[in-house]
Copies of this chain bind each other. A is one copy, B any other.
Amino acid sequence: MRIHKTADVSEKATIGEGTSIWNNAQVREGAILGTGCNISKDVYIDTGVKIGDKVKIQNGVSVYHGVEIEDEVFLGPHMTFTNDLFPRATVWDDSMIGKTVVKKGASIGAHATIVCGAKDSPRVIGKYALVAAGAVVTKNVPDHGFVVGVPARLKGFVCRLAHKMQEKKRLVGFVEMECKICKTTVEIPIKDYEMIK
């Protein structure tokens, strides 16, 4: 565990073994960070936020209350979460906080924006999904999905190393997709595959 002298880590936060926290980062009370994470310069981890193991958070990211980050997630530099669908300076209702879940192994590109879901239907960024730099996500992203643009559209699917995959064959209810570089295959549900635009 390594906490830079300028970082502000609450005594009521829990920090896992081997996690590094860098310059001017802030971790608030009740936040729980897993093991082997890297929390970069100026990052803000809000009250009660749960972050998994081996998560890499790049410079300037604010992870607000209502956001949950699973293991091995990558949050690119200066990407932004939200947690308020009806923001007003003088109105704040804790019981209405918007929700977001970033699933295991997903990566969110630099400067992307994730618009939260409602409190009972969280925005979901699927396992091993990849959100392109600068995208503004307003819909859920399926597992392994690759989304791009404003608003973000599904352009295809990526492997565990974030390479684009190609269709290999059709199965009942699935499309088998293959990464030409890794030679790995992933079965993508037809309903997800048909969301490609």
**Chain A contact residues, majority secondary structure:** loop
Interface on A for B, CB 8 Å cutoff? 6, 8, 23-24, 26, 41-42, 44, 54-56, 58-60, 62, 64, 72-74, 76-78, 80-82, 86-91, 105, 107, 109-111, 113, 115, 130, 132-134, 136, 149-151, 160-163
Q: Chain B residues near A76 (CB, 8 Å)?
A: 82, 87
With A26-B41, A87-B107 known to touch, is A136 a contact of B133 (CB < 8 Å)?
yes
Residue in B60, B80, B88, B107 whose CB lies within 8 Å of A110: B80
CA distance A76 to B64 in the complex (A): 12
Residue in B88, B107, B133, B163 whose CB lies within 8 Å of A107: B88
Are A78 and B59 in contact, CB atoms less than 8 angstroms apart?
no
Smallest beta-carbon distance A75→chain B, Å: 9
CA distance A72 to B64 in the complex (A): 21
Residue in B88, B134, B163 whose CB lies within 8 Å of A162: B88
Are A134 and B105 in contact, CB atoms less than 8 angstroms apart?
no
With A86-B163, A88-B162 known to touch, is A23 a contact of B26 (CB < 8 Å)?
yes
Q: Chain B residues near A80 (CB, 8 Å)?
A: 77-78, 110-111, 133
- Closest chain B residue, CB of each to CB of A62: B59
Residue in B42, B82, B91 whose CB lies within 8 Å of A60: B42
Are A86 and B161 in contact, CB atoms less than 8 angstroms apart?
yes
Are B113 and A161 in contact, CB atoms less than 8 angstroms apart?
no
CA distance A60 to B64 in the complex (A): 13
Are A54 and B150 in contact, CB atoms less than 8 angstroms apart?
no
Are B62 and A89 in contact, CB atoms less than 8 angstroms apart?
no
Q: Chain B residues near A24 (CB, 8 Å)?
A: 6, 23-24, 42
